[in-house]
Amino acid sequence: MTIFAGYVWKQAGDEAGLSGGWYRLWAFLVRYVAPVLVVAVFLYTSGIIHF
């Protein structure tokens, strides 16, 4: 879902009411940070890594 929202859904910032710097921050977080966190949670719940 984060990959779709970050790369495919181009009007997400407009629909969320974001503009300028806030849109760039949102896009960065959704494109790069959120997928890493999703993978980390998956690996943690499957028992592969421990925090």
Each of the 51 residues of the chain gets a pLDDT tens digit; together they read 777 777 777 676 677 777 778 888 888 888 899 999 999 999 999 999 887
* CB burial readout 20-44, b (16+ within 10 A) else e: eeeeeebbeebeeebeeeeeeeeee
Q: Using alpha carbons only, what angle is made at residue 27 by residues 22 and 28, rounded to the nearest 5 degrees?
A: 100
Identify the pLDDT of residue 36. 93
Helix (H, G, I), strand (E, B) or coil at 18: coil
Q: How many domains does the chain have?
A: 1
- The Cβ of residue 6 has, within 10 Å, a number of other Cβ atoms equal to 19
Parent domain of 29: 2-45
- Is 14 within a domain? yes
- Is 35 within a domain? yes
pTM for the full model?
A: 0.69
